[in-house]
Structure 1
Amino acid sequence: MIINAFNGVFTLVILITVGFSLGKKGWFNDNADNLMSKLVINISLPAFMIANLNTSFTKEQFIGSLGGYIVAFLCITLTYLVGSIIYKVFNISSNRKGVFRALFGLSNTIFVGLPVNISIFGEKALPYILIYYIINTLFFWSIAAYDIRQDGKSVNNKFLSKENLKNIISAPLVAFIFSTILILLQIKLPIFILDSCKYLGNLTTPLSTIFIGSILSSMNYSEMKVDKDSVLILIGRFIISPIAAFILLSFTSFPLLMKQVFIVMSAMPVMNTVAIVAREYDGDYKFASVLNATSLIASFVFIPIYVFLFKYLL
């Protein structure tokens, strides 16, 4: 497993380097980055979920995994609440309250979490990756995005708003609900549909990693200063969050693989969508963008450490 962890990390480094190199050569711009992001979120990831959920779960296995959704929610909620406390204790600037808590509490489950976990644990980890992803996404669009909007001085959205509901109902969530219905009703999709979804779904990892490389190539590294707030978020992402997950999971009898995936998912870099929402609502999007890069770099150090510790703690 340790070798797989390093192999997985180095594989990602190579793919990200490709994106970084192409970005430096001018192959990508904001439109290209937006296209890759939209392709992953709206096309390849939903297809990936449909193809794999319907071949990874039986009805009995799916029902048996429902407790995982609750624990994933508790893991994220606990970390988010700790971030809220740290925000107050360390007097973080009020104009980045929502951004700080979102960066502290939520993981990059798709662009980094998905390829990392697949590289380490293989395709058998996919059901558990998707469980954590769904809860992470719901939490972001329902709670964290609302908090980020409040950072903008001219925004005063209600929590229970049409816009919030629209953001929650994303293409991956629709694909998840559709797959859930098929599993529970024990309906099998035609082979040609599953194969089509599989081919489209296979685009998820390469597109995700090239996207990250492209973003890194456009970063202004003179702005990547690691200040107090940045250090606190890195501590939250790579120490507090996985510890919270480990403590909560230690009280469960879930399969070992589920525990391992949840811990790795909880220790992923910051959620890249935070910067996008912050920019749209006049939040501190530059701070969020810098944390995208610094937390990604830090993850290459921490991920193999967690996998090593699995041998002794789980």
Structure 2
Amino acid sequence: MRSEDEAKHVTIRDVAKAAGVSPSTVSRAFSKPDRVSARTSKLIFDTAQRLGYHEEPVQNVPLRGKRRMIAIIVPDIANQFMSDAIRAVQREAENRDIALVVAESRESAVLERAAFDRIAPDVDGVILTSSRMPDAMIRKCAQTRPVVVVNRSVLGVRNVTLDLEGGVAQLVEHIARQDYTEVTYLDGPISSWSAATRWNAVSRALHARGIRAQRFWPGSPTFAGGFAMCDRYLANPTGMVIAHNDLMAIGFIAAMRRRGFDCPKDFGVIGFDDDAVGRIYEPTLTSVRISSSELGARAARMLFASIDGTESSDDLAHVSTSLIIRESSRRPAHSGR
């Protein structure tokens, strides 16, 4: 086990040597993970985590006065899940007359770290939403400012995560009632902790019910990401598709429609998040409801408690989930397999 001082000096070259890849490959894995294979990226992230890699030593930069200002960093501002969380944090901050700074990492651990370093000297605390940074990097950031992590569990750092058990159990029960024996899972990014956690929960529940799953991984958690997986699905269709989030689900439906297939007549789709777009899309989208507003609000209150040095009743908070059934996953009565 490396000491704290040694871990601060771990470089890209150290990670590359330990992982058996080139330094340029390590750099790409952090800045442009879509350009590195899933297996190589996992090896690099696991190695960086083990070594305690942080791109540069974290300096304990003094706060420039008491600012009454906090920050939230998200991977994609355009994603409604993220924008709802931002709004919830904004409301909590306004109630305390505290300003909010918002930054976007564009799904990059390197850009997220750079945003943190730019913002940290001027804020009292930071909320990291669906962070793409390795655990060791997040812990080092938390040494300089109060940090709360949303939709991610990091040992030693306050976090707000999802309790997927209820929503996933309802999802699998819904699939089983319609006699599906196999499904396709459209997964999210390599560097997303929540993507891995979500897949693990779904795959375990499916296996317990004897339902096979083929996994398409990694994917971009966007409309374009779901659209791009259509051809892979058509090479081995299963009838039911579960997407990492609603944006991917809608993109997949759009691509299938372009190829002449109708949802839910020819295939069913279930997403995660229960975004507003999914509720008005045609067909309306079945989705596991995740309250990003509650995640954001609880994270903000947790951060304020940390900044004020007061006790928080839930340094490790969990937000429940549930399945909302709509048209996209209802197999027509006359349909057979």
TM-score, with length taken from structure 2? 0.24
TM-score, with length taken from structure 1? 0.25
Higher helix share: 1
Greater length-normalized contact order (CA 8 Å, ≥ 6 residues apart): 1
